[in-house]
């Protein structure tokens, strides 16, 4: 019987699981099975620096390829897992059967399926992988007209990079404001102003009726019949958990792969971490699509495999770089009933979200001090006095001293 830990996926969560297992002294074989043709790599730069500069792909790698060999962690990068058999403790890669003692599903997320009006068009793009950047990057030439469908983080970051490269950029967001799901109206407004200052047209509260042109989209027709000319169309309308493999194996899935606070799935000896999971957080079941969760939940999984039973109770954090600005969020901006807004020291802004008297999250644009203070307060579970925070003269450091 195998004692190996096999990890499906070779992304951030997979890498973090393997690294933590070895750091914990786990000495059995570890095998990572990825299907992208690359050693584990970081995705955040894809819509930021990497898209702008396209340096060698190795710059994205979480560890140099040789590292995995030295750490005795086997990484296969062209191994698409087709099926998991929980009873036999094995899985199938094509016709090959691989046995496992413990299994970690770290399959991440995939782009939401493209609406039909964008399907099979030669100038429509998504941005999730190195392969996607290899397709889009070389076409981002000054003077081209890029239409971004969806005013979420990836769409906006790509818009910023494209604008810097001299493209004419329009962002179309169907909701009333960009970043509506993630932040409050003040932060949306601050990011909108940033883009408009840089010459991007942001259209909010209007959807797309149809696209004109096949095989190449020439125009996007909005629901009020305005027509927007396009050379390139980036569709950034969110992701869904990559949970089909788990579901087919009979593992409980609800939006994502359901796990407990130690990353255990409903199947014995099977754990899951990262974008693909749905996990308990303060009485709710949530999903997170960020690096913090991919790393920390994976570490909790590795700890559990090694018999260290530590509950995963994160303070989520996230960042987004657009032009020279940095948006940072710590905590979960949900269920709040009041927002305290503070101007930052150097033209930035911070929004402090409260549910009653408890601080639940803070979102900042170009205000690193407010972000770091809030992160420490939330990590300590410390009280934050609303009245004092709203005083623009308050030196935030005093909150930590208290």
Ligand X SMILES: Cc1cc2nc3c(=O)[nH]c(=O)nc-3n(C[C@H](O)[C@H](O)[C@H](O)COP(=O)(O)OP(=O)(O)OC[C@H]3O[C@@H](n4cnc5c(N)ncnc54)[C@H](O)[C@@H]3O)c2cc1C
**Which one among 5, 6, 7, 13 touches ligand X, defined by CB under 6 A?**
13
Give the angle 115-121-123 at the CA atoms, nearest 5°. 110
The two three-digit tokens of residue 331, written as one number: 């905590």
| Candidate segments 28-36, 186-194, 212-220, 341-349, binder of ligand X by CB under 6 A | 28-36
**Which one among 5, 18, 30, 34 touches ligand X, defined by CB under 6 A?**
34
Q: Does 151 bind ligand X (CB under 6 A)?
A: no
User: What are the distances in angstroms from CA 236 to CA 86, 154, 171, 293?
Assistant: 35, 6, 10, 21
Q: Which residues of 11-43 are buried (b: 16+ CB within 10 A; e: fewer)?
A: bbbbbbbbbbbeeeebeeebbbbbbbebbbbbb
Rounded to 5 degrees, what are φ and ψ at 156?
-70, -40
- Residue showing the smallest CB distance to ligand X in the complex: 11
The two three-digit tokens of residue 327, written as one number: 């948006």
158-197: which residues touch ligand X (CB under 6 A)?
none
d(CA 219, CA 230): 5
| 174 three-state secondary structure | coil
CB of 230 to ligand X, least distance (A): 21
CB of 83 to ligand X, least distance (A): 9
Q: Does 257 bind ligand X (CB under 6 A)?
A: no
Cis (ω within 30 of 0) for the bond into 346? no
| Candidate segments 64-72, 185-193, 209-217, 283-291, binder of ligand X by CB under 6 A | 283-291
**Which one among 171, 253, 291, 301 touches ligand X, defined by CB under 6 A?**
291
| Candidate segments 139-147, 279-287, 312-320, 380-388, binder of ligand X by CB under 6 A | 312-320
**Which one among 30, 75, 127, 171 touches ligand X, defined by CB under 6 A?**
127
d(CA 313, CA 334): 16
Q: CB-hemisphere CA count at 13 Å for 155?
A: 30
Q: Does 299 bind ligand X (CB under 6 A)?
A: no
12 vs 373, beta carbon nearer ligand X: 12
34 vs 314, beta carbon nearer ligand X: 34
Check if the beta carbon of residue 100 is closer than 8 Å to that of residue 217: no
Interface pattern 313-352 for ligand X (x via CB under 6 A): -----xxx--------------------------------
Closest CA relative to residue 11, chosen from 290, 256, 317, 318: 290
**Which one among 123, 124, 211, 290 touches ligand X, defined by CB under 6 A?**
290
Binding residues for ligand X, total number by CB under 6 A: 36
* N residues, the chain: 402
d(CA 276, CA 180): 22
Interface pattern 360-399 for ligand X (x via CB under 6 A): ----------------------------------------
Interface pattern 221-250 for ligand X (x via CB under 6 A): ---------------------x--x-----
Check if the beta carbon of residue 262 is closer than 8 Å to that of residue 269: no
178 vs 384, beta carbon nearer ligand X: 178
Q: Does 20 bind ligand X (CB under 6 A)?
A: no
H helix count then E strand count, the chain: 11, 27
81-110: which residues touch ligand X (CB under 6 A)?
81, 106-109
| Candidate segments 36-44, 224-232, 259-267, 278-286, binder of ligand X by CB under 6 A | 36-44
d(CA 321, CA 45): 9
11 vs 314, beta carbon nearer ligand X: 11
**Which one among 241, 294, 302, 384 touches ligand X, defined by CB under 6 A?**
294
109 vs 124, beta carbon nearer ligand X: 109
- Burial class (CB within 10 angstroms; exposed 0-12, middle 13-18, buried 19+) of 99: middle
| 35 three-state secondary structure | coil
Q: CB-hemisphere CA count at 13 Å for 364?
A: 24
Check if the beta carbon of residue 169 is closer than 8 Å to that of residue 200: yes
CB of 12 to ligand X, least distance (A): 4
Q: Does 150 bind ligand X (CB under 6 A)?
A: no
Residues at the contact surface with ligand X, assessed by CB under 6 A: 8-14, 33-36, 43-44, 46-47, 80-81, 106-109, 127-128, 154, 242, 245, 274-275, 289-292, 294, 318-320
């Amino acid at each position: 019987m195998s004692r190996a830990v096999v990890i499906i996926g070779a992304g951030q969560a997979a890498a973090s699981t393997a690294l933590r297992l070895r750091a914990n002294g786990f000495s059995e074989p570890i095998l990572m099975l990825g299907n992208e043709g690359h050693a584990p790599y970081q995705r955040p730069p894809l819509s930021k620096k990497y898209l702008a500069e396209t340096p060698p792909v190795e710059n994205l790698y979480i560890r140099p390829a040789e590292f995995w060999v030295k750490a005795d962690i086997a990484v296969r990068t062209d191994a698409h897992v087709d099926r998991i058999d929980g009873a036999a403790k094995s899985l199938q890669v094509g016709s090959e059967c691989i046995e496992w003692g413990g299994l970690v599903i770290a399959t991440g997320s995939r782009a939401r399926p493209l609406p039909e009006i964008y399907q099979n068009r030669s100038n429509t793009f998504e941005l999730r992988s190195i392969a996607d950047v290899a397709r889009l990057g070389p076409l981002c030439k000054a003077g081209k007209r890029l239409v971004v469908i969806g005013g979420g983080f990836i769409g906006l970051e790509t818009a910023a990079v494209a604008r810097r490269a001299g493209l004419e950029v329009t962002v179309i967001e169907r909701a009333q404001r960009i970043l509506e799901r993630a932040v409050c109206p003040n932060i949306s407004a601050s990011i909108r102003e940033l883009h408009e200052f840089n010459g991007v047209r942001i259209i909010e509260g209007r959807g797309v009726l149809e696209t004109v042109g096949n095989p190449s989209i020439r125009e996007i027709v909005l629901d009020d019949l305005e027509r927007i000319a396009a050379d390139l169309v980036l569709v950034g309308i969110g992701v869904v958990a990559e949970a089909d493999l788990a579901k087919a194996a009979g593992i409980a899935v609800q939006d994502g792969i359901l796990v407990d606070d130690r990353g255990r799935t409903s199947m014995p000896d099977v754990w899951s971490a990262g974008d693909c999971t749905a996990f308990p957080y303060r009485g709710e079941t949530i999903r997170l699509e960020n690096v913090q969760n991919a790393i920390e939940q994976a570490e909790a999984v590795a700890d559990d495999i090694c018999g260290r039973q530590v509950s995963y109770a994160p303070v989520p954090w996230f960042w987004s770089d657009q032009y020279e600005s940095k948006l940072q969020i710590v905590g979960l901006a949900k269920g709040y009933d009041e927002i305290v807004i503070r101007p930052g020291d150097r033209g930035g802004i911070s929004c402090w979200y409260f549910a009653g008297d408890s601080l639940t999250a803070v979102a900042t644009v170009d205000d690193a001090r407010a972000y770091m203070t809030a992160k420490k307060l939330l990590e300590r579970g410390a009280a934050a006095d609303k009245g004092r925070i709203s005083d623009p003269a308050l030196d935030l450091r005093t909150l930590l001293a208290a």
